[in-house]
Amino acid sequence: MTRRPPKLQRQSTLLDILREERIPSQEVLRERLAARGMDVAQATLSRDVRELGVIKLPDEEGSYYTVPADVTDPTPTLTRLLPALYLGAEGVDNLLVIKTLTGGAQPIAVAIDWEEWPEVLGTIAGDDTILLILRNTSHLPTVIARLEELAGF
């Protein structure tokens, strides 16, 4: 089994590939990523393409994927959201409650889902509270520490 690369590294490599050569399909893009040691599922690749704002343009040879000029390197969404919206977290067993400013729970929950943290089974978000369900009770301190580090606490 090939180890799944971290999301930021994978997305950065994806952008490099698209800047270096003309890629006509996601399957070719998957092959190029695999050649660089990154075995990526089709669903993950499609999500990365969508998140990065990659577009497909027509030309005389068919069509190809390209990176819009305003897309630089992928910036983790949590790195932008948590410092502004995160208030704290408290948990018990495999459940973690994250408190945010009003309106902050939904975007943070979506960003956590996109991060694909191996410790996280899923998220449920309200307006200012997120319930994070962890795969194991031992993951609780790790996830809290990660959130606080990203939030700048």
Domain boundary pick from 30, 46, 66: 66
Q: Which domain holds residue 135?
A: 77-151
Residue 94 lies in a domain: yes
> How confident is the model at residue 73, as a pLDDT?
55
Q: How many domains does the chain have?
A: 2
Q: Are residues 52 and 83 in the same domain?
A: no
Domain boundary pick from 66, 97, 116: 66
Strand order of the β-sheet with 86-92 is 86-92, 95-100, 129-134, 120-125
Q: Are residues 96 and 135 in the same domain?
A: yes
Residue 143 sits in a domain whose CATH number is 3.30.1360.40
> How confident is the model at residue 92, as a pLDDT?
97
pTM of the predicted structure, to 2 decimals: 0.55
For residue 106, give both structure tokens: 């939904």
Q: Are residues 59 and 94 in the same domain?
A: no
Residue 38 lies in a domain: yes
**Rounded to 5 degrees, what are φ and ψ at 25?**
-150, 165
Tell me the pLDDT tens digit for each residue of 82-102. Answer: 998 899 999 999 999 999 998
> How confident is the model at residue 50, as a pLDDT?
79
> How confident is the model at residue 67, as a pLDDT?
81
Residue 129 lies in a domain: yes
